[in-house]
Amino acid sequence: MLNLMTKQTTMCENQAIHPDAVAAAMDTLVTNDLAQNVARTFQALADPTRVRLLTSLLTVELCVCDMAYMLGTSQSAVSHQLRVLRDLKLVRARRSGRVIYYTLDDDHIRDLLQKALDHVQH
Partner DNA sequence: TGAATATATGAATATATATTCATATATTAT
Partner DNA sequence: ATAATATATGAATATATATTCATATATTCA
Query: Which residues form the interface with DNA (CB under 7 A)?
Result: 8-12, 17, 43, 46-49, 63-65, 73-77, 79-84, 93, 95, 97-101
66 binds its own copies (CB under 8 A): yes
Q: Which is nearer to its own copies, 2 or 10 (CB)?
A: 10
Kindly provide the residue ranges of all beta strands, DSSP E only, lying in the chain, ordered along the sequence.
Answer: 62-63, 91-96, 99-104
Instruction: Kindly state the smallest distance separating residue 113's Cβ from DNA, in Å.
Output: 17
Phi/psi at 103 (5° precision): -135, 160
Q: Which of 1, 4, 5, 12 binds its own copies (CB under 8 A)?
A: 12
Residue 14 has φ and ψ, to the nearest 5°, of -95, -10
User: Quick one: what does residue 94 bind among its own copies, DNA, none, with the CB cut-off 5 to 8 Å set by partner type?
Assistant: none
Question: Can you tell me the distance from the alpha carbon of 60 to that of 29, in angstroms, rounded to the nearest whole number?
Answer: 37
**66 close to 81: Cβ distance less than 8 angstroms:** no
Minimum Å gap between C-beta 87 and its own copies is 13
CA-CA distance, 22 to 38, in Å (whole number)?
22
**Best CA proximity match to 64, nearest among 99, 89, 109:** 99
Q: How many residues bind its own copies (CB under 8 A)?
A: 68
State the residues that interact with its own copies by CB under 8 A. Answer: 10, 12-18, 21-22, 24-30, 32, 34-43, 45-52, 55-66, 68-70, 73-75, 89, 99, 106, 108-109, 111-113, 115-120
